[in-house]
């Protein structure tokens, strides 16, 4: 899809009440239009030094059929960058596993846990409920 028009962005922004489809924060001025079902951009390695490379987007997509307005959700920059090219279910798992891993890897967090400053409740993927799911459930029950 070519660059979104202002009107298209305004439509996407209002899909879930002007909030991030995932965390539900009020969308700041700068936000992203996320492909819910990922398009997965093609990457190429560009040499940056003698033995160093960085990956940059070629502009092409592995799944261009997903590049349509119905498949775009408004997302805050943080959620969109963290979700990257993941599906909704993968993103849900990333949040749970990421938190679990952060506690396991952090001596400070484990110490805070031992001293009762931090309570970590075991979370399951089902505990992560995205804003768009709550929003859609609210709309359904209002009918």
Residue 73 touching Zn ion (CB under 5 A) = no
- Of 6-14, 16-24, 81-89, 119-127, which part binds Zn ion (CB under 5 A)? 16-24
> Residue 19: exposed, middle, or buried by beta-carbon count in 10 A (0-12, 13-18, 19+)?
buried
Provide the minimum distance between the beta carbon of 79 and Zn ion in the complex, in angstroms, as a whole number.
Answer: 3
58 phi and psi, to 5 degrees? -85, -10
> Residue 22: exposed, middle, or buried by beta-carbon count in 10 A (0-12, 13-18, 19+)?
buried
- Of 21-29, 32-40, 46-54, 99-107, which part binds Zn ion (CB under 5 A)? 21-29
102 phi and psi, to 5 degrees? -65, -40
Residue 20 touching Zn ion (CB under 5 A) = yes
Residue 79 touching Zn ion (CB under 5 A) = yes
**Residues forming the site for Zn ion (CB under 5 A):** 20, 22-23, 76, 79
């Amino acid at each position: 899809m070519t660059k979104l028009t202002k009107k298209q962005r305004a439509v996407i922004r209002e899909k879930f009440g002007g909030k991030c489809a995932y965390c539900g924060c009020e969308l700041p001025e700068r936000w992203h239009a996320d492909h819910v079902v990922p398009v997965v951009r093609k990457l190429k390695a560009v040499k940056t030094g003698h033995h160093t490379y960085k990956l940059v987007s070629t502009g092409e997509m592995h799944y261009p059929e997903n590049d349509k307005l119905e498949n775009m959700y408004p997302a805050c920059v943080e959620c969109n960058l963290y979700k990257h090219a993941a599906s909704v279910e993968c993103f849900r798992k990333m949040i749970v596993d990421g938190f679990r891993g952060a506690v396991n890897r952090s001596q400070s967090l484990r110490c805070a846990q031992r001293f009762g400053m931090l309570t970590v409740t075991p979370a399951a993927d089902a505990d992560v409920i995205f804003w768009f799911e709550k929003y859609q459930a609210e709309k359904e029950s209002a009918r």
